[in-house]
Amino acid sequence: MIQGSSTLKFTSLAELYLGIVLSVVVIVTGVFSYYQEAKSSKIMESFKNMVPQYAIVLRDGQKLTMPAEEVVVGDVVEVKGGDRIPADMRVISAQSCKVDNSSLTGESEPQTRTAEHTNDNPLETRNLAFFSTNCVEGTAKGIVVNTGDRTVMGRIANLASGLEVGDTPIAREIEHFIHLITGVAVFLGMAFFIIAFILGYYWLDAVIFLIGIIVANVPEGLLATVTVCLTLTAKRMASKNCLVKNLEAVETLGSTSTICSDKTGTLTQNRMTVAHMWFDNQIIEADTTEDQSDDTKTSFFGVQYDKSSPGWTALSRAACLCSRAEFKPGQDSIHILKRDCTGDASESAILKCMELAVGDVMAYRRKNPKVCEIPFNSTNKYHVTIHETNDQKDPSYLLCMKGAPERILERCSTIFIGGKDKILDEEMKDAFNNAYLELGGLGERVIGFCDLPLPADQYPHGYPFDADEQNFPLDNLRFIGLVAMIDPPRAAVPDAVAKCRSAGIKVIMVTGDHPITAAAIAKSVGIISEGNETVEDIAMRLDIPIEDP
């Protein structure tokens, strides 16, 4: 009797311990899941900082600062460089306004905004600015036309959140396993229940057999094991800057068959970089990788050139002086390519290139101070600056101009090649066109440069230059070269694309860029294989419109 009592006590304690262990397992599993979900939610909450908090609104003749969510359709809103657009708005006035639409279109180059209607497509016209995009420079005033979920960004968010989410592969596998193990457990439990009856066991003992067999077949550690494994994997991915919002998505990666990737900032570095230069009738290629070093002062980004060449001297001088871009203060200890700049993406790229290739650009500008300027605008498509020079032998003023290559060329009568001014005849124009087409065919943004030393007898020291009256020459200038820029691919992308393709995963690039630019990037990272043709290539070869079947 005593022995039976101790056995019963031991059994009760064992069951108690088992219950405690199972409870701890469930609690720990829940904590793991909660930790991961809370961490992901916290990161997602931080994305709300992307939404503008306040807006400057004109109401009832008064200028008010209010939270962006209180802006309504019909409000007149003012924005300036550095602001986020608080709602979709139609621009009614603007002064040198440019917006960064990369969050919507992936286009890294800032887009000009004016009151002019330029395209029937709302996404392409210049008189619409969209919610959550950045105003990078200038000022603008507009009327709010959409807010909240009715904005372009809001509709994109609704489309993304409205996608049907099916079961993940691991969820299907676990569900299948549960059905299987449940069937086995119930079958064995019923079998032992029937056998216990046949052998004459009391019915309560038979039920205990039934419950015991079913419980024994339940894999209590499965949930904990799967959760811990997925959490550890998610943590490793987080260390590589990959956010896992749902633990089950970790395993889903193993079933990936197609990856659709954005271009700007994902496949590319999201920074315009000088890729080529054309001067002295030759194209110089640059190093566009992410780890360019400062030893390039003896070469152009690793490509040897004659630093004393008059052609290079003239082009680098114009590139340094004819620019509004500047480095933000307090960045001397930061690598040149990682410094923040004021100015648009193209000018910032040229500034960094010149800082690497020539030296201290800001000191060079101080030695050659600017005395007059015509800012770039979408009508003229050129930017003009006039400078005093630090050349003691020739103290005359220097006029520099940059802009759209075709607009620059038509204002030139000579071209500077081999240290000499040559007449811009058909042969020289053909050389220019060949270089322009070659660089443009690589999907690069090309800018032309020209200059003109102003005669000291006509423009003596202290001459009152007037940008409005334009009392200085803007024709018969001297063409000196081209600078081509591109948003280059990240260094690790080609290898990543190759690994995906070797694993049987198809990689697709999704972008709103010009087809030539998109094709150039796709070929450089291996998405388009050597010798393969794009739709545009096939249409050009067959001389048929793309729309034709």
Catalytic residues: 262
Q: In this structure, what DSSP letter does residue 73 have?
A: T
Residue 224 in tokens: 């904990």
Q: What is the rounded distance in angstroms from the CA atom of residue 39 to the CA atom of residue 485?
A: 39
Angle at the Cα of 79 from the Cα atoms of 74 and 85, rounded to 5 degrees: 70
Please name which of 429, 455, 428, 482 lies closest in space to residue 312, comparing C-alpha atoms. 482
* SS3 call for 131: coil
Please name which of 451, 442, 457 lies closest in space to residue 515, comparing C-alpha atoms. 442
Residues 6+ apart with CB under 8 A from 208: none
Task: Please check whether residue 405 is in contact with residue 299, taking contact to mean a CB–CB distance below 8 angstroms.
Answer: no
DSSP 69-137: GG--TT-EEEEETTPBP-SEEEEEEEEEEEEE-HHHH---S-EEE-SS---SSTTT-TTEE-TT-EEEE
Residues 6+ apart with CB under 8 A from 192: 206, 209, 210, 213
Q: What is the rounded distance in angstroms from the CA atom of residue 427 to the CA atom of residue 408?
A: 17
Which residues, listed in sequence order, are joined to residue 113 by a DSSP beta bridge?
A: 97
Q: In this structure, what DSSP letter does residue 280 have?
A: T
Residue 372 in tokens: 């007059």
Q: What is the rounded distance in angstroms from the CA atom of residue 409 to the CA atom of residue 416?
A: 12
Q: What is the rounded distance in angstroms from the CA atom of residue 306 to the CA atom of residue 454?
A: 27
Which residues, listed in sequence order, are joined to residue 84 by a DSSP beta bridge?
A: 134
Work out the angle between the directed axes of helices 515-525 and 493-502 (0-180°, nearest 10): 70
Task: Please check whether residue 326 is in contact with residue 341, taking contact to mean a CB–CB distance below 8 angstroms.
Answer: yes
Q: What are phi and psi of 326, to 5 degrees?
A: -140, 150
Residue 42 in tokens: 């916290």
Angle at the Cα of 445 from the Cα atoms of 337 and 492, rounded to 5 degrees: 50
Q: What are phi and psi of 31, to 5 degrees?
A: -65, -45
Q: What are phi and psi of 342, to 5 degrees?
A: -95, 145
